[in-house]
Structure 1
Amino acid sequence: MSNVSKPVIPAEVADVIEYLRFDEGRGGYSNQKIIQLYEMKTVQSEVAESLRKIPFDTLLAALVNGYERELTEEERREEAIAGEYEWYCACDSDYDDGVCRGILLTLNTLGIKIEGVNA
């Protein structure tokens, strides 16, 4: 098994790649056509400009190895809140429980991981 990792790319770029690959009207773009679109600096379309938001090497890795979408702020927030409800706090009072949940929500929202707390 190889140690190839999938790059994380912005959702906008992922949407463009998926649009180009599966666009019925054009028959779908191959990796080669997507790279040509990226390289043609004279093309000023929204699609080409979106592709150029990531480095060329990242685009190549995404096309060949696959990719993972970068979470938007809203998705990150939703994930943090969902993680909060899975957590258990062994506090003695409702106040202490609320403080524990507030700390966990803050850490998850900011993307901070602490071993033994939320990691």
Structure 2
Amino acid sequence: MNAKITVPAEVAEALGLYVGATKSKTEAFMSIRNDGDIYKQSSVIRSYFKSNIDGILEALVNGYTVEQTPEEKVREYWSKLMSDRYNVNDEHHLDKLSAEIHGIIKTLNLLGIKIEGVND
């Protein structure tokens, strides 16, 4: 069995629109291939996969997962740090985790980025 590939949310949405608008994944593939850059959705898909037409077929046949946004990655890492912080018994490790948490907040604030659940 082949593994699912990971694609950005915009590509996943475009693939989903094609699959939903056609009768089969084969028909969706043919439409994407034949539409070229006429439609925004086909343009998004073709731009992401570039000349790797097999990648489009692989995504349609094997499925795909949606790539996390940078904010989601930070939020997930933040949650892990917070969980580790409350479960650690070693003072040195606790200091390291606290410094890392402070560094994340400081960096996001310096960049003017607000992430819900992290520094909002």
| TM-score bracket relative to the smaller structure | 0.5 to 0.7
Identity over the aligned pairs, expressed in percent?
Answer: 21
Q: Contact between 2:36 and 2:42, CA under 8 Å: does it hold in 1?
A: no
TM-score, normalised via structure 1 length: 0.66
1:32 aligns with 2:26: yes
Q: Contact between 1:80 and 1:105, CA under 8 Å: does it hold in 2?
A: no
Q: Distance in 1 between matches of 2:23 and 2:99?
A: 47
Q: Distance in 2 between matches of 1:15 and 1:42?
A: 17
Deviation at 1:63, TM superposition (A): 0.7
Q: Contact between 1:37 and 1:43, CA under 8 Å: does it hold in 2?
A: no
In structure 1, the gaps of 5 or more residues are 107-119
Runs of 4+ in 1 over 3 A off after TM superposition: 101-106
Q: How many residues align?
A: 99
Q: Distance in 1 between matches of 2:101 and 2:80?
A: 9
Q: Contact between 2:81 and 2:97, CA under 8 Å: does it hold in 1?
A: no
Match of 2:76 among 67, 76, 79: 79
* Residues 17/42 of structure 1: CA separation in 2 closer, same or farther (3 Å cut): closer
TM-score, normalised via structure 2 length: 0.65
Q: Cα RMSD between the aligned structures?
A: 2.8
Q: 2:6: which partner in 1?
A: 8
1:40-73: per-residue Cα shift (whole Å, max 9, x none)?
A: 2654211110111123222111111111111111
In structure 2, the gaps of 5 or more residues are 104-120
